[in-house]
Amino acid sequence: MSDLMIVGFDDEATAFELRAALVKLQKEYLIEMEDAVVVTKSADGKVALHQAVNLTAVGAVGGTFWGGLIGLLFLNPLLGMAVGAGTGALSGKLSDVGIEDKFMKEIGSTLKEGGAAVCVLVRKMTGDKVLAGLGEFKAKGRVMQTSLTNEQEAQLRALLETPAA
């Protein structure tokens, strides 16, 4: 079972820095994330989702490959690549993995203008080492929502919301 964590910040830069730090921790095998999205709210009130993986682009690349391969079989690889890219891009755009986009847009609507939130879906993690690795974010954010245990949520809040001594 996966755990959801949503952490809010007053600025976009800190949110992107947190996502980058989580990706670094994932490369060190301390956390395994299913999804990590930065949600921003611009000065004019528009909510934007900054996905870690662009599914439309991934679908287009995969579709181009498979379309070209099938096109070779029918002696028209360019047409096959074009059709494959279009089909792949469409399927990538329509597929939604991880955290539901509608839910994240609702979270974004609660942010103040210029603010941001990081929505992370965690498959598994080594909690104490992840918290230690995120020490640079002490007192920079606020926990908006989690599905963690009360004890784990309290540790996360202590890190993000408690001023440094």
Q: CB neighbours (10 Å) of residue 13?
A: 10
Q: Determine contact, residues 59/36, Cβ cutoff 8 Å.
A: no
- 146-162 pLDDT, tens digit per residue, is 988 899 999 999 989 88
Once rounded to an integer, what is the mean pLDDT over residues 94-100?
Answer: 63
pLDDT band at 101 (very low <50, low <70, confident <90, very high): confident
- 6-53 pLDDT, tens digit per residue, is 999 999 999 999 999 999 999 999 999 888 999 999 999 999 998 875
- 53-73 pLDDT, tens digit per residue, is 544 444 555 666 556 656 655
Q: Name the pTM for this structure.
A: 0.71
Half-sphere exposure (CA, 13 Å, Cβ side) for 69?
A: 6
- 77-94 pLDDT, tens digit per residue, is 666 666 566 665 555 554
